[in-house]
Amino acid sequence: MAQPWQTIDKAETPDGILELRRRGKSDFLIMINNRVLMNSSASRSERALGVQACDLVAARKNPRVLIGGLGMALTLRAALDSLPALARFVVAELNPVVAGWCRGPLAGLTENAASDPRVTIVVDDVANVIAEAAHAEQKFDAIIIDLYEGPGSAPDAGNDPFYGNRALRMTAAALAPGGVFAVWGENTDTAFEKRLAAAGFSVRRLRPGKGGLRHVIYVARVN
């Protein structure tokens, strides 16, 4: 008989009750209002997202990477492993409790990626961090968006803060020449691909793994 899930921590957020649940020693869920947001045993697309984005900038001198959404830090771990010691990472996470989980009960999943000295975690909306970089002299070599809802959830193609036309132009401005923009999504979104192209990106769509539920990764590069 499978072990039951146990809630080991919870926090109130503007979007509802955020929970961390565990089953056994290394099986975790992050949930909000009883909806599963992340499952540690179904994470191949999150890991592939970090690898695919960072492999394209690994040859650069001291690459800078922005990750939007910490989650279980699985994408962050993959990104850390893909880049040299002088790379630097900024992770924008809205809920500070998530950072605490990644440094606490979830740390064993990622060799404590959230506490790596190359990593700075800021409690902020990643859209704000992108906007600041767009108007700053120093740009990012890669921007990775690993949020709970991908571009298929965008209700307003023009004004969506992450996947809309304006947001994509801002992201292009926040990247160094030839920089990489990688996005996790639940399903293919051809309208998003067209918006990326219109914002000046070349786009590849990937579905990591074989069999079972295969999420989508978009890897776009500034032309």
Domain ranges of the chain: 43-222
pLDDT attached to residue 154: 63
Q: Which residue has the tokens 């009960």?
A: 105
Query: Are 175 and 141 within 8 A, CB to CB?
Result: yes
Do 47 and 75 form a contact (C-beta atoms < 8 A)?
yes
Residues of the chain with pLDDT under 50: 211-212
The structural architecture, per CATH, of the domain 43-222 is: 3-Layer(aba) Sandwich (3.40)
Q: And the tokens for 65?
A: 């990477």
- From the number of C-beta atoms within 10 Å of its C-beta (0-12, 13-18, 19+), residue 193 rates as middle
Q: How far is Cα 193 from Cα 214, in angstroms, rounded to an integer? A: 18
Q: How far apart are CA 184 and CA 201, in angstroms?
A: 16
pLDDT of 168: 96
Give the start-end residues of each E strand in 40-139. Answer: 64-68, 88-92, 119-122
Dihedral sign computed on CA atoms, order 143, 146, 152, 156? negative
